[in-house]
Amino acid sequence: MHRRMDDDKRIIVMGEDVHRLNGGTNGATRGLAAAFPDRVLGTPISENAFAGLAGGIAIDGRYRPVVEFMYADFLWVAADQLFNQIAKARHMFGGDASVPVVLSVDHRPIDGVTAARWMKAFLSLVEHPITMFA
């Protein structure tokens, strides 16, 4: 991610704790806040809000947001923005709009206590979105 952000000044990263905790809860953004303080945005616990913000920023065209979700389960909290707004926006503008949003989700196995609540396998919904609308 660091190399991509060096190469492309339009990339911004947003999500819960991405700017602290040694790179967020998963360490995926480690070192980015120090290197790119104006482009790593810590958000409140409101996945639907920051996913929607990312979609709007992407449509605007000046930035390419990377949205970090703590756990795959939190994709459901942002489902309206992801599936009804971001995924369809390009088509709602007659195919002329680009919506360059990247979703970053850690889905590694974790301890049994945490996994029982936060580690369901919903990733096929966003890895293969065309099947949702076929």
Question: According to the model, what pLDDT value does residue 132 have?
Answer: 43
Instruction: Give the rounded distance of the alpha carbon of 134 from its chain centre.
Output: 24
- For the segment 7-19, the average pLDDT, to the nearest whole number, is 94
- For the segment 69-95, the average pLDDT, to the nearest whole number, is 87
Question: According to the model, what pLDDT value does residue 96 have?
Answer: 85
Per-residue model confidence as pLDDT tens digits over 121-131: 565 655 655 44
- Domains belonging to the chain, first-starting first, are 2-133 (3.40.50.970)
Average pLDDT, the chain: 82
Confidence of residue 134 (pLDDT cuts 50, 70, 90): very low
pLDDT at 21 over 90: no
From the list 74, 71, 77, 81, the residue with the least C-alpha distance to 24 is 71
53, 44 Cβ separation under 8 angstroms: no
82, 125 Cβ separation under 8 angstroms: no
Q: Higher confidence at residue 106 or residue 122?
A: 106
Confidence of residue 15 (pLDDT cuts 50, 70, 90): very high
This prediction's pTM: 0.79
Question: According to the model, what pLDDT value does residue 119 have?
Answer: 55
Per-residue model confidence as pLDDT tens digits over 43-75: 989 999 999 999 999 999 999 999 998 877 788
